[in-house]
Amino acid sequence: MNLYYAPLEGISLRVFRRVHSEVFGCVDAYFAPFISPGDQERVNRKGMRDIAPEENKEVKPKIQVLTGNAESFLRFAENAKALGYDEININMGCPVQMVTKKGRGSGILREPYTLDNFLSEIFSVSDMKISIKTRIGFYSAEELSRLIEIFNKYPISELTVHPRIREQFYKGEPDMDAFSYAYNNYMGRLCYNGDIWNKEDFDVIEKLFPNLSGVMIGRGAVKNPAIFREIKGGKALSTEELCTFTEKMANGWYEVLKSETYTLYKLKELWGYMSLNFPDEKKITKAIKKASKPDELIGLTKMLPDIKKG
């Protein structure tokens, strides 16, 4: 069973992927955040730079596109192929209204007929491997049976299912009954994604669904960057590692951004999750949140105690 690092907008970018792989590793594949065509379906240059071969010599990611337009997808596929990629993941899960109102992300799930036509067109033309990351429906999990019926028509390389509907965003409990339906009725390779915060959560999923092709972890892996190692039987996360990780991230982002302000923003974004490892250290974690420079934030992380186990 493969372990994937989820595509997280603003987080799982090239610097993060390289540093995480160096410090923690144990990830079978990193997914780069989605690239969305902009005005007039032009490809997002910033996103393309993130997946450029020269920027990913140490860790080559899997790539994801956010579009519901066949012409746009096919144009992106040609650009991706020119960069040496042979597989594209389509984001059909993003719940943000600005995305869904354009029929992108989970917005495409509202119109099964449109979804079917979109897939028919791209699969009939593209020679790229195509995988999909989806939700179980837009308004209701009852939509899932029709979605699975459509997905079963096409040679999707892997289907990742996040068992929430669009209206939930990331709140509430994942609908495991709905995922069980997908597990029992989808005929291709199936990956689970959603609310895996520790090895115990993973063990539950593996026991319930032993024939999954993969498990994708997002927010739980930001909180605990060592979660993949722990799942594979390695040592637990330590405070010392988090400090090392933070310093390397600061150096990596400053080299790219040439700005302490933007580097600090990147570090604070991570520590918004990683602070959850220290529930009793509110004074320090609050100071981390208010830090005004990267060096100040790094110094504060070194004041944290060892992470409590169990």
| pLDDT computed for residue 45 by the predictor | 75
Task: List, in sequence order, every residue forming a beta bridge with 5; answer none if it has no partner.
Answer: 30, 217
The SS3 call for residue 301 is: helix
Residue pLDDT, tens place only, 192-246: 999 999 999 999 999 999 999 999 999 999 999 999 999 999 999 999 999 999 9
Residue pLDDT, tens place only, 143-192: 999 999 999 999 999 999 999 999 999 999 999 999 999 999 999 999 99
| pLDDT computed for residue 43 by the predictor | 58
Q: Are 267 and 295 in contact (CB under 8 A)?
A: no
| pLDDT computed for residue 189 by the predictor | 98
What is the average per-residue pLDDT within 33-46? 70
Helix (H) / strand (E) element for 32: namely none
State the DSSP code for 62. Answer: B
Q: How far apart are CA 239 and CA 84, in angstroms?
A: 38
| pLDDT computed for residue 38 by the predictor | 58
For the chain, which residues make up each domain, given as ranges?
Answer: 2-231, 239-301
Confidence at 37, pLDDT banded by 50, 70, 90: confident
In Å, what is the CA distance from 259 to each residue of 55, 168, 253, 262, 294? 19, 36, 8, 5, 10
Q: How far apart are CA 183 and CA 191, in angstroms?
A: 9
| pLDDT computed for residue 41 by the predictor | 44
Q: In whole numbers, what is the pLDDT of the chain averaged over residues?
A: 95
pLDDT of 44 above 70: no
Q: How far apart are CA 146 and CA 8, in angstroms?
A: 27
The SS3 call for residue 134 is: strand
What tokens were used for 105? 């992300």
The SS3 call for residue 254 is: helix
Task: Please enumerate in sequence order all residues whose Cβ is within 8 A of that of 34, keeping only pairs 6 or more positions apart, or say none.
Answer: 7, 9, 47, 64, 65, 66, 91, 94
What tokens were used for 172? 């509430």
Residue pLDDT, tens place only, 97-152: 999 999 999 999 999 999 999 999 999 999 999 999 999 999 999 999 999 999 99
Q: Are 192 and 212 in contact (CB under 8 A)?
A: yes
The domain 2-231: what is its CATH number?
3.20.20.70
What tokens were used for 28? 């079978």
Q: Are 5 and 217 in contact (CB under 8 A)?
A: yes
pTM score > 0.85 for this model?
yes
Backbone φ and ψ of 271, nearest 5°: -75, -15
Residue type, 288: I
